[in-house]
Amino acid sequence: MTPQTEAELAAIIKAADGPLRIEGGGTRPIGGATNGARLSTSAMRGIELYEPGALTLVARSGTPLDEVEAALAKEGQRLAFEPMDHRGLLGTAGTPTIGGVVAANVSGPRRVQAGACRDFLLGVRFVDGAGRIVKNGGRVMKNVTGYDLVKLMAGSYGTLGVLTEVALKVLPAPQMAATLRLDGLDDAQAVTALCRALGSPFEVTGAAHLPGKATLLRIEGFAASVAYRAERLTALLAPFGALAVEDDPDVVAATWRDIRDVTAFHGRAGDVWRLSVKPSDAPGIVAGLSGVEALYDWGGGLVWLLAPEGRANTIRAGVDAKGGHATRVRGAGADAFHPLPAPVAALQAGLRRRFDPRGLLNPGLMACV
Amino acid sequence: MQMPVPNPAILSRKAELVARLRTVLPVDAVISDPAETRAYECDALTAYKCPPLVAILPATTQEVSDALAICHDMGVPVVPRGSGTSLAGGALPTADSVILGVARMNAVLETDYDNRLIRVQTGRTNLSVTGAVEEHGFFYAPDPSSQLACAIAGNIAMNSGGAHCLKYGVTTNNLMGVTMVLMDGTVIELGGAHLDAAGYDLLGLVCGSEGQLGVVTEATLRILRKPEGARPVLIGFDSNEVAGACVSDIIKAGVLPVAIEFMDRPCIRATEDFAHAGYPDCEALLIVEVEGSEAEIDAQLALIEEIARRHDPVELRQSKSAEESAKIWLGRKSAFGAMGQINDYMCLDGTIPVSALPLVLRRIGEMSKEFGLDVGNVFHAGDGNMHPLILFDANKPGDLERCEAFGAEILKLCVEVGGCLTGEHGVGIEKRDLMAHQYDSDDLAAQMDVKDVFDPGWLLNPAKVFPLEASQGRRAA
């Protein structure tokens, strides 16, 4: 089913008598495919409003991400949260949509400085499991009118409602970007260096460590600023070695695209895990796991693991000992999402019953048991 | 302002309630003498007052949990209170409620500069969070004007903003985790030192829920390294339209100032008479502040100046020193005080799309004549968060009502042009009955469903946020 309008979508959900599998572009089947009839947002598309002078864009949920990014680029702006493209990692085809980005709260390396998708989401419209059309938030940057269902919808993977429209804050694209590279650091040294850089006033917008390869920082802004900050960071990080500066725009863009999309794990056998942890805990957690390969982003706060199948318990035990969570982004099993403490799981289940009383929307997805 | 009728069964059980609370709290933490509970009868929205039945001042999460469990068991409403600085009546008690003040919970629990975070008890004031980390060169970004007094608990409840949100975001963008006690006494942890939520973003849902989902006792906050420096430029224009267009052009040019403040003529005049900041005699004034190293600041201000000159400013004054910066900010920072010298005022908080600025200011001017009340506008222009200050005389019969009616019209206008009722102060009781102008019944039902899940008895912070008739069936259930 591919409704053209929000009203059609509401009618479909009201009339549904069995589970629905909600799909944007179908490029991010995280947590495994769910049962049910396919319900696609792809026909509800188009940018409805874009005001560059107000840094706001409103689009229907099925709008291809490319279309949004192209419209922004024309005005020298962008989605600052740098959404990842999951196709290479998950081996999917299709066209990523802006609604899919929001439903999975997808953010890239710049999340560490600019914030996540949810931080740029100003408003939503959605149809919940009862067929109720709901709007929340709006298209202005500051809005505390009522409860923030905008945040609740971001990252709820279509389990509370089907998004029909999203309003986003956008930001100016910088004049230039540069990558600063350190070599020869082990994981613990690298995270220490990244933390030091992120704790500086020099507005680092990317902080990644590729074990055995390189430790990388990104700075962006006006050309003079980038040069100045590169110099200051070189001095600050001198104890960790000499920094090499790369400022060819294509090379810089490719480097951070590869980090964003976890290119190093594309086409390789094994499960892929995404760990969200306190940065300084990350090297210890990785060191406690055998037979895994790790990539660090967000200054260590995000760890990508390539691991043999069936390692959920070991990985989660390692994370639980320190705090944080682990999601299996690629691989089989019903336990992709991190189990929640009982009272929090009860709240989550309660919300789900309220917004989807008949259990129609992506049943089984985000199950946390 | 309509409030629910106090429950006589609760009023009659006051002695039992006090006795039970004293079994879990120190004797001086349970206040029941009517002479003392009056201290909690209102917050900064002083037009509405009602002393609570009892006030309690727990010192730990455990004490909060124990006290809430008792109130839950006896069916007593609880009104959480930070520092009582809400302009929206967010901490207004009902006569049958217990005020739960977090003032005794003000400790710093952990500072972690490597991971750039601080963990505090939520009674700590906003400014003293920065105070705890500034000697290491760090700060906590959200900076509401009341930051000297307001508590982190209240900041989280209202998702408070401040002047520097354009660059740093509001509370929800700087809040990493909370310890929260549900109405039945259950203690939960949401978020923490890591960045993204496991499961639904309940942390994002709790932030801005006006103390109606739980009592937040501890918070993990993002701290940032202070910029190397900051300096403003002051730009005067002879029309609001041109000033609005200039704001838009600055943003489009790719500069991201840390603040863009806007004042209109009535406000400029009032502050000049009061603070003598040397502001030009003009229709509209912008203060644009940028951050970075000296050279970076110079470069950004030069670009802003170039853009502003295309709009024929009547004055353009770039700060070159700390003294000049202070002088430029002096008028803006004393704007509320200056308006208060003239008369009583009501401060509104609607947000509008920046493009609607000229239209909204023109309409406010027209309405000012219709209602016969003066109004000055001072606001955060970069993000469209307006603060119209309506002047009235509290001692003149009918003036407050006229002022409230005028304020309601302004807020409806904000919604009409694509904005919202409140950008950073919250709904509280003040804007409760306007909610239906922004949200239809399904929109409100979805929000109230959340309340049902977290607090099925509707005991936490009663009579706020939702119109009473809309919540009637749920409260009675």
Q: Which domains does chain B have, with CATH numbers?
A: 8-103 (3.30.43.10), 108-225 (3.30.465.10), 230-336 (3.30.70.3450), 343-416 (3.30.70.2740)
The span from the CA of B266 to the CA of B399, in Å, is 20
In chain B, how many H helices and how many E strands? 19, 18
Place of tokens 């706020």: B464
- Among B113, B110, B136, B140, which Cα is nearest to B125's? B140
- pLDDT of residue A315 exceeding 70, the answer is yes
User: Which of B170, B423, B450 lies at the smallest CB-CB distance from A147?
Assistant: B450
B431 vs A: CB within 8 A: yes
B471 vs A: CB within 8 A: no
Structure confidence at residue B379 (pLDDT)? 87
A130 vs B: CB within 8 A: no
Place of tokens 């690629």: A330
Please list, in sequence order, all residues whose beta carbon lies within 8 angstroms of the beta carbon of residue B365, skipping any fewer than 6 positions away. B375
3-state SS, residue A220:
strand
Chain A residue numbers with beta carbons less than 8 Å from the beta carbon of B454 are 347
Mean pLDDT of A282-286: 98
The span from the CA of B1 to the CA of B42, in Å, is 14
User: pTM of the full predicted structure?
Assistant: 0.97
> Residue B213: closest CA among chain A residues belongs to which residue?
A147
What's the token pair of residue B240? Answer: 């609001």
Measured between CA atoms, how close is B34 to chain A, in angstroms? Answer: 33
> Residue B382: closest CA among chain A residues belongs to which residue?
A54
Give the model confidence (pLDDT) of B171-213 as tens digits.
Answer: 999 999 999 999 999 999 999 999 988 999 999 999 999 999 9
State which amino acid sits at residue B412: K
Give the model confidence (pLDDT) of A235-274 as tens digits.
Answer: 999 999 999 999 999 999 999 999 999 999 999 999 999 9
Place of tokens 């201290």: B39
Give the model confidence (pLDDT) of B254-265 as tens digits.
Answer: 888 999 999 999
Question: Which residues, listed in sequence order, are joined to residue B390 by a DSSP beta bridge?
Answer: B346, B375
Residue A369's pLDDT band (boundaries 50, 70, 90)? very low
3-state SS, residue B378:
strand
The span from the CA of B69 to the CA of B24, in Å, is 10
User: Between residues 148 and 167 of chain B, which touch chain A (CB distance below 8 Å)?
Assistant: 158-159, 161, 165-166
Measured between CA atoms, how close is A140 to chain B, in angstroms? Answer: 6
Structural contact between residues B206 and A120, judged by C-beta atoms closer than 8 angstroms? no
- Helix, strand and coil percent figures for chain A, each rounded to 5: 35, 25, 40
Give the model confidence (pLDDT) of B96-146 as tens digits.
Answer: 999 999 999 999 999 999 999 999 999 999 999 999 999 999 999 999 988
User: Which of B166, B198, B446 lies at the smallest CB-CB distance from A128?
Assistant: B446
- pLDDT of residue A344 exceeding 90, the answer is yes
> Residue A135: closest CA among chain B residues belongs to which residue?
B443
Structural contact between residues A102 and A137, judged by C-beta atoms closer than 8 angstroms? no
Measured between CA atoms, how close is A305 to chain B, in angstroms? Answer: 17
The span from the CA of A7 to the CA of A132, in Å, is 10
Residue B178 phi/psi, 5-degree rounding, is -140, 155
B369 vs A: CB within 8 A: no
Please list, in sequence order, all residues whose beta carbon lies within 8 angstroms of the beta carbon of residue B475, skipping any fewer than 6 positions away. B4, B458, B462
